[in-house]
Amino acid sequence: MNTNKGAIGVFDSGYGGLTVLKEIVHQLPEYTYMYLGDNARSPYGTRSFETVYHYTLQCVNWFFNQGCHLVILACNTASAKALRNIQQKDLPLIDESKRVLGVIRPTSEIIGNYSETKHIGVLATNGTVQSGSYVIEIEKFYPEVKVFQQACPMWVPLIENNEHKNKGADFFVKEYTNALMKQSEMIDTVLLACTHYPLLLKKIKEYLPADTKIISQGEIVASSLVDYLQRHPEIAAKCLKENKVSFYTTDSTEDFDKHAAIFYGQTVQSMHVDL
Reply yes or no on whether 194 is catalytic. Answer: yes
- Between 73 and 239, whose beta carbon lies closer to ligand DGL? 73
- Between 69 and 259, whose beta carbon lies closer to ligand DGL? 259
Q: In the bound complex, which residue of the shown chain has the CB atom lying closest to ligand DGL? A: 45
Catalytic pick among 59, 75, 152, 239: 75
Q: How far is the CB of 75 from ligand DGL (least distance, A)?
A: 4
Does the bond joining 143 to the residue before it have cis omega, within 30 degrees of 0? no
Residue 132 CA to its chain's centroid (Å): 16
- Between 214 and 240, whose beta carbon lies closer to ligand DGL? 214
- Between 120 and 239, whose beta carbon lies closer to ligand DGL? 120
Q: Which residues bind ligand DGL (CB under 6 A)?
A: 12-14, 16, 42-45, 75-77, 125, 128, 156, 194-196
Q: How far is the CB of 1 from ligand DGL (least distance, A)?
A: 31
Helix segments in the chain, DSSP class H? 17-27, 49-65, 76-81, 83-85, 91-94, 104-111, 126-131, 133-141, 155-160, 169-183, 201-207, 218-231, 233-236, 253-264
Reply yes or no on whether 75 is catalytic. Answer: yes
Q: How far is the CB of 48 from ligand DGL (least distance, A)?
A: 13
Q: How far is the CB of 35 from ligand DGL (least distance, A)?
A: 13
| 86: region left, alpha or beta (phi > 0 left; psi from -120 to 50 alpha) | alpha
CB 189 within 8 A of CB 113: no
Catalytic pick among 59, 152, 194, 239: 194
- 153 Cβ neighbours under 8 A, 6+ residues apart: 45, 46, 125, 126
Active site members: 75, 194
